[in-house]
Every structure is written in structure tokens, then in C-alpha cells.
Structure 1
Amino acid sequence: MIKKHMPTIAALLLMSACTVALAETAALSKAPASQLQRGRYLVQVAGCNDCHTPGYAPQNGKVDEKLWLTGDALGWSGPWGTTYPTNLRLLLAGMSEKQWLHHARNMEPRPPMPWFNVRAMTDADLKAIYAYTRSLGAAGVAAPAYAPPGTQASGPVVRFP
């Protein structure tokens, strides 16, 4: 009798697991699907992945979404020192939405991060990016720390004159 119902039991277990996963994602983000879709879209078209996702630009954007926004160890070096693309998933996991808005509006920028583009975004855009990034969950490791001018960079770097 049990063998006869195994596919049904397996299907119910799978459906239950999917339901739990969707509920956890919704609970984590507490954001409507439209806001998450908007955030995902903005992350793509604003170029966030170009630096903040390892290998994104060299692979023409063909990087598994589970790696998006996890930072990178490729440094950007110039007269300002060497900066590294932050792991945004770890950063935003430790911030409230209000803290993120303040950070986005007031962070002291270092090249080559185009903070002028971030600051030009509306609060709704920034909130959508926050919700989407948080929905991905914390993942990866922190990027290397900023290296001031005259100090040795950790790992490979792109050098600006």
C-alpha cells in the first residue's frame, strides 16, 4: 500500500519543502515580489554586479545569481590607494533599511565606486536594492580592507595612473 503512494508522498514532501523555502525567503525580505524584481533589475542595469560580483564582467554577466554581490578580491589602485568591491550581501545583512539609506547618501566615496550614481537614485530605488540584496541572504567573505596610498595591495589590482 505504501509503495503505491510513494510518488504522492514524495511530491507532497517536495511541495512542503518548496513552501517552506518560499516562506523563509518572504520572511527574510518582507518585501513584495515587485520590489524584489525592481531591486534585481536595478542591480543589473546600474552595474553593481560589474564590480561587486566576482567574474561578472569578464563572463558577460553569466554568473550564477547565488554569487551576486558577494564582493571581489580584485583591487582598484590609484593615487587614493587600493579599494576593493565590498561584499554587499554581508554589508546589508548588518544594516537596517534606514541605515542603508543613510550610508548610500553619506558614505565617503573612494574611486572607482560611482557614488554619484547611487546618490542620484530615489529612495524607492535604494529600498528596492536593499530588499533584493537582503533577499539573497548573507554569503561569501568580506573583501580585503582598503589599502592607503603607499601600502602593498593584497592580490591582483587594476591600476589607474
Structure 2
Amino acid sequence: MTTAPPAPVDTDEVAFVAGLRRLKAWSGLSYRQLERRAAQAGHTLPYSTAATMLGRDRLPRAELVAAFVAACGLRADQAEAWLDARMTIAYGGQRAEEEATPTPRIRSLRRPRRALAAVVALAAVLLGGTLAGGALTDDVEVDDTRTSLQVPRS
């Protein structure tokens, strides 16, 4: 890696992914090596995901780009340029005044939704069991019901 890494292209998705392919070629690393280096940098980048990402012409998610450029060995300022280019493409060629919500915050919002869904499901099961058991019915209604199973009163 004696030459400078390729610069990111922020014109369109196809050119951006082509730039990521050039970056992989520049790094000289295999997909398995990229997976290991991403893990060492604190990211998750399965080799199959990296291969799929480079095999398509769609804009990859920001966390994949961050993991990929870190695995390729880019410095923080170079990695930031790739993420900025991705954001420019994602916003249709215009830089947003405010930065997008960081990925860890997005993940943290998903957890409460799952927990809320689990609580609602549990409440529905408990309420259904209570209703099926007759705990919320009036005893008067049960006494007034005439069935063949009713015990005669003395």
C-alpha cells in the first residue's frame, strides 16, 4: 500500500460501489482478511456480506461502509470522506445540514420496540387466560345459566 487509496466518488451509487471495489483491490486483502481486520477495529463485517456488497450496484448501509473502509486500513479522515460521500448520495446529491442519526442510536431504538411488543403479547396472553378462566365474569350470570351440567340446589 505505497500508493494513496482511491478517493470516494459521490456522484451515484454505481460509481460509489465501483470505488469500494477499487479500495478493496488497493488493500490487497481477501474477504476473510477484511472480516478479521474489521473485527479488530471493533466492527462486524462478515466476508459474505462484503462480497455481496461489492457485487451489487446499490448503496450499502453506512455501518457496512464504515466497517469496510476501516478493514481496508484507511485513516479516520479518509474513512470519514467515504462516509460523507455515501451520505451525499443517500440525500440525493445534497449534504444535509444535520448529520443523520448515528447507527448505534438506531439500534437502541429497535430494542425498546421489541420489548414493548413482547410486553403487549404477554399482556394479551394473560388477559386471554383470565377471560377464558372466567375470572372476570359475574357469578350471577353463571347461576342464571341453565345447563344440563348444573347441580340442583337443595
In terms of fraction of residues, the more strand-rich structure is 1
Class of the TM-score when normalised by the shorter of the 2 chains: under 0.3
Higher Cα Rg, which structure: 2
In terms of fraction of residues, the more helix-rich structure is 2
Greater length-normalized contact order (CA 8 Å, ≥ 6 residues apart): 1
TM-score (norm 1): 0.23
